[in-house]
Amino acid sequence: MVRSLLRQGADPNLANAEGLPPLHLIARRDVHGDMIRMFLSTNEERQQTVGIDARDNSGRTALEWAVTSCLPLAAKSLLKHGANVSGFVFPTPSDSDYLGRGSSLTKLTAATGLLAIVELLEARGYEMGRDDALKLMGFFDKYGLYESTDFSTSKDVDDLVDSLFEQMAKKRTYIDYLKFVSSYKMRKIPYESMEACSVRLCEKILTKFCRDWALDPFMESLHYRLPIVCCEMIMEKLKNKDLFNICLAAAGRRS
C-alpha cells in the first residue's frame, strides 16, 4: 500500500500532526529494515528526494530514532541508503521506552542489537567517545542486562552457555550475533534453563565493551599508579555492573 501511494505521488516528506515525517515513523518500528528499504528504493525509482537526515520536531533524525528504538537492522538500512553520521547524537537511556525490562531472550536480543548498532555506526566513520559509551552502558542498565550472575547452575547449563558463546564468538559481526540469538538454536534451549542461559550470555557478550571503556577511567581513578597489565588483571575480576559504576564515577569527577 505504501509503495502504491508513493507511486501515485504521495509526498514522502510530509510530516504528521506530531511533526514526524514518514521515514521517522518507519524507523521507530521497522524491526527488519525491510520497510525502510522499500520506502527509500521506491522514492529513488521516482527520483523523489527524501530528507534522510532531516530532523523532526523533537530534533531527531530517522537514524537517531532507529538507535533509540534499538533497531540495528533499521539503522543498517538507513546507513546503506546514505544516512550521515557526522551530526549523529547518541540517545540517552531516558529517551527510549524500548523493551523496559523484558524477557530474558528479549534482553539478549537487546545486548547484541546495541553492540551491532555501535559496530554499524563506527563502520561509517562515527567515533565513539566516553560519553557515548556511558550512554550505551546506561541502556544496558535500563534493559536489565547487568543482572547478577551470582547464582548456582547445573553443569549442563554451564556447558550449554559455554557452547553457545563459543558458537557466537565465531561470528564476524554483532549483526551475526543478533541473527544467532534470533535463530532456532536459541529457541531449543529448555524453558527452565532459558533465564540462566540468557543472563550468563548477556554478561559474556557485554564484557569486552565494558572492559574496554572502563579501563581508562579505572586507571585514572588510581592516578595511573598501576601499570596497565595490573589494571586489566583487576578488571577481569569485576562484573559488568562494576565496570559501569567505574565509568559513572569518572563522569561525575569530570562534570
Choose the final residue of a domain: 32, 63, 89: 89
Choose the final residue of a domain: 89, 110, 142: 89
Q: Is residue 81 domain-resident?
A: yes
Same domain, 149 and 242: yes
Q: State residue 9's pLDDT score.
A: 62
Q: Is residue 177 domain-resident?
A: yes
Same domain, 244 and 149: yes
Q: State residue 254's pLDDT score.
A: 72
Q: State residue 156's pLDDT score.
A: 80
- Under-50 pLDDT residues of the chain: 100
Q: In total, how many domains does the chain have?
A: 2
Q: State residue 10's pLDDT score.
A: 65
Cell output for 136? 550505551
d(CA 157, CA 152): 10
Q: State residue 192's pLDDT score.
A: 80
DSSP string, 157-188: HHHHHHHHHHHHHTSSSHHHHHHHHTSHHHHT
Q: State residue 248's pLDDT score.
A: 95
Helix H or strand E segment including 112:
helix 104-123
Q: State residue 151's pLDDT score.
A: 67
Same domain, 134 and 65: no
Q: State residue 44's pLDDT score.
A: 82
Same domain, 41 and 135: no
Q: What is the pLDDT of residues 11-39, one digit of tens each?
A: 777 888 888 899 999 999 999 999 999 99
- Could you tell me the CATH number of the domain that includes residue 32? 1.25.40.20
Q: State residue 127's pLDDT score.
A: 95
What is the domain range of residue 239?
A: 129-254
Same domain, 84 and 145: no
Q: Is residue 73 domain-resident?
A: yes
Q: Is residue 100 domain-resident?
A: no
Q: Compute CA distances 198 → 40, 53, 111, 236, whole Å.
A: 36, 36, 10, 21
Could you tell me the pTM of the whole model?
Answer: 0.88
